[in-house]
Amino acid sequence: MSTDCAGLAHDALPAPGEGAGELDRACPSCVVKRLGVVDYAPALEAMRVFTAAREAATADEIWLLQHPPVFTLGQAGKAEHLLQNPAGIPLVHIDRGGQITYHGPGQLVAYLLIDLPRRALKVRELVLLMEQAIIDTLADYGIAAERKDGAPGVYVAGDKIAALGLRVRKGCSYHGLALNVDADLTPFGWINPCGYPGLRTVRMHDFGVADDVAAVGERLLGHLQRLLPPMRAVEAAPSGS
């Protein structure tokens, strides 16, 4: 089940469940990993492997990172939404919902690897939660943002500032959200963002925000932790006695 929508050192991506993360005190059931700049393909593979290997007691994880320039096209995506590509940016077909979007340096990406039933969450509720966390983060900086009916994501005066996309397998989510902080928005002009011709994209920097991706990431993380429902107790399997 799914739903929408160069010149930097690349940090090594840890093996699923290992390294570069710690249980967060504000959300003790979540391992938070701050991964730096990571190529898209290994990040996607790590999410898939982690999700496939999950067990009932596996801690949820939130990954904060950036990607080098890449276009990603969702399951129902149409290639014609890539209008031009003068920079030769890679195009990756992926398993989330939604159409085409762009990731690049200066954009905060948060991947939410969450066991939904364990938190009594439905997919739509997780989407709304992510949108609210972004809206609250932007409000911290004095930016009034909102949802748009029928078009998942977060908007400022009708212009898109954040995109969402999820994949859910056996009740566990992966992929997540992307918030434009101080990214170069030029590549968005080469696509129909999320399949909408003429949709304008904006970034936090356009509204006078000086904080970098890492600082914004910590604010977003705090709101995600606050909004995530607590985990329900996992019942032990009955013994044979």
178: annotated binding-site residue?
Answer: yes
103: annotated binding-site residue?
Answer: yes
162: annotated binding-site residue?
Answer: no
Residue 194 known to be catalytic: yes
163: annotated binding-site residue?
Answer: yes
Cα 43 from Cα 72, distance rounded (Å): 13
Residue from 5, 30, 172, 194 carrying the catalytic annotation:
194
150: annotated binding-site residue?
Answer: no
Strand, coil or helix: what is 76? coil
101: annotated binding-site residue?
Answer: yes
25: annotated binding-site residue?
Answer: no
104: annotated binding-site residue?
Answer: no
For residue 75, give the nearest of 168, 199, 177, 161 by alpha carbon: 168
Instruction: Let me know if 205 is exposed, middle or buried by CB neighbors in 10 A (0-12, 13-18, 19+).
Output: middle
Q: What is the largest CA-CA distance in the chain?
A: 68
Q: State the Cα angle at 203 between 197 and 206, rounded to 5°.
A: 115
Query: Are 35 and 46 contacting, i.e. CB atoms less than 8 angstroms apart?
Result: no
Cα 176 from Cα 111, distance rounded (Å): 4
137: annotated binding-site residue?
Answer: no
142: annotated binding-site residue?
Answer: no
In the annotated binding site, the residues are: 96-103, 163-165, 176-178
In the annotated binding site for substrate, the residues are: 96-103, 163-165, 176-178
The catalytic site residues sit at: 194
